[in-house]
Structures are given as structure tokens and as C-alpha cells.
């Protein structure tokens, strides 16, 4: 049985299963709902929603609440410590595969933004453009043009 983790106004959390019999939603009209929870009736209205972020602003009995919903996948990502990977600051660049550095397109002190090309790495007769995964300043270019690198080798240091 899958449980959803519900956070209300960042002040308290509850776990709820969609098939619990103590919760009943009935959609009325124009984003309005009738909710029956543990034999108590509530009138609710959906004011705003961010489906991608799984957050909702609702009004229940004239009180506004910000609701954040986490399914089993969101909970697993948090448990594994992967929820903060979307940071826009970039870490050091390591070789994603063994190959030969064909070109370096940045230099120490240069500011780069997410998506900017950093270098071209040839691997298995294919040219791979290694791009910035976030915003950063180049601290040091460790490798040089024409150098063979191993998978995981440090190529560019960021700050």
C-alpha cells in the first residue's frame, strides 16, 4: 500500500494512503471540493497549483494552506540524499569516459553558465561536447589538448 507524505504549511506532516476509507473527496465545481475525513465534513477550494512541484494552495473553511505532496519516488530521492542535486552551482568536471581531449574551450578565471561548452572529448571515434551542468568559475584547467584521459579523471577544477 503506497503512502503519500503530505506537508502542510511546512509545519506538520502526515502520511496518507489513497485507499484509506477515512478520506473521501468529491469535486463540486470551479476547483471546489467537499472533503469527508474521519467523519468530519470540510469545504475546500483549490486556489493555486504547481503540478510539477506537487504543491497546492487550498482554502479549507476559510483558512489557506500550502500543501506539498511527496509520492514514494520523491520520498526515496530524499532518503538517498539526492534531493539537493538540482543546485545550480557546478562541481569539478571529471571525464565521463576514457578518451582523448580534442579541444578546451575555457580558461582559468572564466565564468561559465549551465550549458556552456567546456571541452571536446573524443571517445570511440565520436566527439563528445562536455558542457557545464551549472554556474561556476573555472579555477584551473587540469588537462591539456591532445591528452588521453581515464574515466573519472579530474579535467577542470571549479570554484
85: helix, coil or strand? coil
Same structural domain, 122 and 70: no
* Domain enclosing residue 139, as ranges: 93-158
**Per the domain annotation, does 129 fall within a domain?**
yes
Cα separation, 103 vs 88, whole angstroms: 25
Q: For the residues 11-34, what does the mean pLDDT come to?
A: 78
Strand partners for 112: 136
Residue 43's alpha-carbon distances to 12, 29, 62, 102, in angstroms, are 21, 12, 9, 64
What are the backbone dihedrals phi and psi of residue 101, each rounded to the nearest 5 degrees, phi first?
-75, 115
Tell me the pLDDT band of 20, cut-offs 50, 70 and 90. Answer: low
Distance from first CA to last CA of the chain, Å, rounded?
Answer: 45
Q: Is 86 domain-assigned?
A: no
Q: Please state, in angstroms and rounded to a whole number, the distance separating the CA atoms of residues 5 and 71.
A: 7
pLDDT digit string, tens, across residues 112-149: 998 899 999 998 888 999 998 888 999 999 999 999 99
Residues 100 and 142 in one domain: yes
Domain count, the chain: 2
Question: Is 84 contained in some domain?
Answer: no
Where helices occur in 7-147 by DSSP H, the ranges are 72-79
- Provide the 3-class DSSP secondary structure of residue 102: strand
Chain mean pLDDT for the chain: 85
Amino acid at each position: 500500500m503506497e503512502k503519500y507524505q503530505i506537508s502542510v504549511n511546512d509545519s506538520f506532516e502526515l502520511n496518507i494512503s489513497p485507499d484509506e476509507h477515512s478520506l473521501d473527496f468529491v469535486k463540486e465545481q470551479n476547483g471546489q471540493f467537499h472533503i469527508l475525513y474521519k467523519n468530519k465534513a470540510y469545504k475546500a477550494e483549490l486556489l493555486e497549483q504547481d503540478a510539477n512541484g506537487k504543491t497546492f494552495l487550498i482554502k479549507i473553511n476559510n483558512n489557506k494552506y500550502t500543501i506539498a505532496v511527496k509520492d514514494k519516488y520523491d520520498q526515496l530521492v530524499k532518503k538517498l540524499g539526492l534531493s539537493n542535486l538540482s543546485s545550480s552551482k557546478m562541481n569539478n568536471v571529471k571525464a565521463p569516459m576514457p578518451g582523448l581531449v580534442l579541444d578546451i574551450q575555457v580558461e582559468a578565471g572564466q565564468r561559465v553558465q549551465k550549458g556552456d561548452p567546456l571541452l571536446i572529448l573524443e571517445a570511440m571515434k565520436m566527439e563528445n561536447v562536455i558542457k557545464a551542468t551549472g554556474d561556476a568559475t573555472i579555477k584551473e584547467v587540469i588537462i591539456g589538448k591532445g591528452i588521453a584521459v581515464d574515466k573519472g579523471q579530474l579535467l577542470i577544477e571549479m570554484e
